[in-house]
Structure 1
Amino acid sequence: MASDGLARQNLVIGVSTALTAVSVIIVCLRTYTRAIILHNLGNDDFAMIAAVTFTVGYLATLFVLRDNKMGFHGREASLPQAVTSLRVAYAIEIIYYLCVNITKVSIVLFYLRFAVKKPFERLCQGTICLLAAFCSVCIIVILAQCRPLYKMWDLTGMVPGTCINTTIFIYTTSAMNIVLDVWILILPLKVLLSIQRPGREKTALLAIFALGGFSCIASIARLYSVRVFTASKDPFYDSVPINTWSMVEINVGIWCASIPALKALFSKSQRARTQNTRTHGYQYHGSERSGTKKSMGTIVRSEEFTLEEIASREGSRERIVRTSQPGGV
C-alpha cells in the first residue's frame, strides 16, 4: 500500500515539475524575445509572467501535499497531516483559477496587438472583462464555501457551521473553462484569414494559433479527473489525478499562449526586419493598444504580424507610414 502511495506521489510530482520547468523556460524565452530582441514587452507578457509565477506556486503546494500523504489512503494520514492537506487544497483552488484565467487574459491581450478594427478590439476587451468577472466569481465562491472558513478543514465535526456542496460548482466552472477556451480559439480567425500572405505562410500562422486546441483537449481530459475526485470516498487518495491534469491544463495553456511570441527568436529574417524597423522607423497614427506598450508616434510593426496588411484588408482607420528619421521602439 505504501509503495502504491509513493508511486502516485512520484507521478504527480514528476509530471508537474517537468511541465512547470518547461513553462518557466518558455516564458523566459518569450520575455527575452519581446524585451531584448524586439523591444516590445507588453501587458500580455506581464500577464504570462504572472501566470507562470502562480504555476510555480501551485507546484510548491504539491510538494507540501506530498509531505502530508497525498496519494495515500486517508486512513494512513495523521490528523495534522489531513488538516494541512485540506488547508493546502483550499489554496490550490484559488491558485488554479488564477493560473487558468490569467493565461487566457494574456492570450486576448496578445490579440489586441493586431486589433486594428474596432469590432474585434471591443470583442477582445469584452472577453477580458468576462474572464475577470468569471475568475472573481470563482474566487468569491471558494472564499465563502464554508462558514466559518476553518470548518472546511474540521475533521472532528466539532466546529459549528455549514459548507456548500461544491460538486456542481466544480463541474460548472470546468465546463465554462472549456467554453472559454473554444471562444478564445475562434476569436481571431476572421482577422487571421484576412491577412495577405502566401498560402504556406498563412497555413503556418493558422497552425500556430491552432495550438490553442491542445489547451481545450487538456481541459476536456481534466473533466474525467473531476468526476473521479467528486465521486471519491477517499479524496486524499484520488487527489492525484485531478492535480496532475490541472497542471497539464495550466502548463499546456501557457505553452500554447507563448509559442507564437517566440517566432522572432528563431527567425533570422524576422530579427533582420526588426533591426531594419529600429534603423529606419515607422510612424503609427491611431489609438493605443492594450496588449503592448505603444503610444502615438511609436513603432507598431508587430513581430507576429504585418499590420499594414491587416489594416488594408480590414479597412481600418489606422495608417503606418515610412519615416526618414531613425526611430526606436
Structure 2
Amino acid sequence: MLESLQPISYAVVSVFFFLSTSTILLRVYARGYLVRSFGLDDWCMFSILFFNAGQQVILYYFLHYGAGLQLDTVYTTHPEWLLNLSYALFAEEIYYIWMHWVIKMAFLLFYLRFATTRTFRYLVYSTMGLNTIFSTITWTLYVLQCMPLDALFHPAAHPTTKCVDRAVLAFVPTGFSAFVDIAILILPIRPLWHIQVSLRKRLTLISIVSLGSLVVLVSMLRIIVLNLFEKNIDLTYTLGKLIIVSSIEIDLAIIAANAPSLKIYWSKYISRPSTPTRKDQYESITLSTLQGQKVLSQSSSCHISSSNKTVRDGRRDMMSPERMAEEGDMGMAITRIGNEDLNRESQEALWTSEDGIIVTSSVGVVVHAKPEQHDDQLEANYYVFDKA
C-alpha cells in the first residue's frame, strides 16, 4: 500500500478537470459559432463550467487537509484537520448531488433536440422529473441526517442524538443516481435506431450518445469505495480513493454529455474527404419535392438549384437539416427532419460520408409562375433544367 495517495489524487483530479473543461469550451464554440444552434442544453453545460470549478476547489480542500494520507499520520501531525474534513464532507454531499443534477439535465435537454414523437418527449420530461425528485430526497436526507445537525460535527456534545445510518446516506443516493443514469443511457437508443441511415452509422450515433455507460461503470466502482469509507477503514486514506473515483465520475459524465457536440469537429475538419468520389457526389444528393403545385406545365419555368447553403421556403431562410448534419449538429438535424417531414412519401434521402453522422446535399425544386405564352413565343432553352 502506498504511504500517501495525495500525489496520485492531485494528478487525477487536475488532468480530468482539464479534459472536461476543454470539452465544455469546445462545445460552446462549436454550437455557438460553427453551427450556431446554441440551445438550453448548451447553456446548462456552460453553467457546469463554473460549477465544476467549485467542485474542484472542494476536492483540493480535501487534499490540503489530509485526504489521501494515512489516518495515523493525520492524528499525529494535524488532528484538527479531521473537523475541517467533516465540514467539507457535508458541503460535498450537497454539492455533489447538485453537480449530478445539472449534468443529467444537460443530457436530457439534448435529447429534446431529436424528440420527434410525443411518447419520447414525455419519457424525457418524466426522467427530468425523476432526476429532480431523487435529488430533492437526497438533499433532504443529508440536511436532516442528524437533529440537531451540529451532532454530525460534534458528536461528543450530543451523546443522545441518533443520526441516520451512514450506509443509508451513502447507498440510497447512489442507487437513485445509478437509476437515472441507466434511464438516460437507454432513452435515445430507440429513436436513434429508427433514423434512416446505414446500420453502421446508426451504431455510431448510439455509441456516441451512450458514452454515459462509462459513468455507470465508474459509479459501481464508487460504491465499493463508499463501502470502505462507511466502515471507517483508514478514513483519510480511503477518502483519497473516494476523491479519485468521484473526480473521474463527474468529469467523465461531462465529457460524455459533450461528445455529440465534439462530433462537429470530426465531421468538419477530419472525416470530410478532400476530393469526393463519384459515388460520394451521387449519394450526397437529396431530392425534395416541395409542397404546392407539383405539375409543371408550359406556363411554368422550373429551376433546380443545389441548396448546400440555405433553403428558402418563401417565408424565411432556414438551414437545411442535411447541412446541419454535415456540420455535425446531430441534434438539430434530426429535430428539423422530424418537424419538417410533412410528406415522407414525397422525399427520398440518400445518405453519404462514411465517417460523418448525416451528410447530404439538398436539391430544392422551386416553381415560378410565368405569364402564359404561345408555343412560338417560347425561348429555345425553356425546357432546359440548369443546376445553379
Q: TM-score of the superposition, structure 1-length normalised?
A: 0.81
What's 1:144 paired with? 144
Flag the structure with more relative contact order, 1 or 2, with Cα contacts below 8 A and sequence separation at least 6: 1
What SS does the aligned partner of 2:157 have? coil
Q: What does 1:3-14 align with in structure 2 at a 5 Å threshold? A: 4-5=3-4, 8-14=5-11
User: Aligned match of 1:22 in 15, 19, 24?
Assistant: 19
What's 1:169 paired with? 169
Q: Which amino acid aligns with 2:151?
A: K
Q: Is 1:57 aligned to residue 20 of structure 2?
A: no
Deviations 1:2-28 (A, max 9, x none): x813xx111222101110110000001
Q: Deviation at 1:256?
A: 0.9
User: Aligned match of 2:311 in 264, 275, 280?
Assistant: 280
Q: Which amino acid aligns with 2:143?
A: L
Structure 2: how far apart are the matches of 1:225 and 1:49? 30
Superposed CA RMSD = 3.2
Q: Which amino acid aligns with 1:30?
A: R
The answer to whether the Cα contact below 8 Å between 2:68 and 2:241 also exists between their aligned partners in 1 is no
What's 1:33 paired with? 30
Deviations 1:208-238 (A, max 9, x none): 1231211111111111111111112432221
What's 1:158 paired with? 157
Structure 1: how far apart are the matches of 2:104 and 2:247? 15
Deviations 1:107-142 (A, max 9, x none): 111000011111110110111111011111111211
State the structure with more CA Rg: 2
Q: What does 1:250-329 align with in structure 2 at a 5 Å threshold? A: 250-268=250-268, 279-280=310-311, 301=321, 303-304=329-330, 305-307=333-335, 309-310=337-338
- Unaligned stretches of 5+ in structure 2? 273-283, 285-306, 345-363, 367-388
Q: Is 1:178 aligned to residue 178 of structure 2?
A: yes
Structure 1: how far apart are the matches of 2:106 and 2:268? 26
- Unaligned stretches of 5+ in structure 1? 285-295, 317-321, 325-329
The answer to whether the Cα contact below 8 Å between 2:311 and 2:319 also exists between their aligned partners in 1 is no
The answer to whether the Cα contact below 8 Å between 2:58 and 2:92 also exists between their aligned partners in 1 is yes
What SS does the aligned partner of 2:237 have? coil
Q: Which structure shows the higher helix fraction?
A: 1
User: Percent identical across equivalent pairs?
Assistant: 23
Q: What does 1:209-288 align with in structure 2 at a 5 Å threshold? A: 209-268=209-268, 279-280=310-311
Q: Quickly say closer, same or farther: Cα 1:300–1:83, change in 2 above 3 A.
A: farther
Q: Deviation at 1:80?
A: 2.9
Q: TM-score of the superposition, structure 2-length normalised?
A: 0.70
What SS does the aligned partner of 2:100 have? helix
What's 1:203 paired with? 203
Q: Which amino acid aligns with 1:32?
A: Y
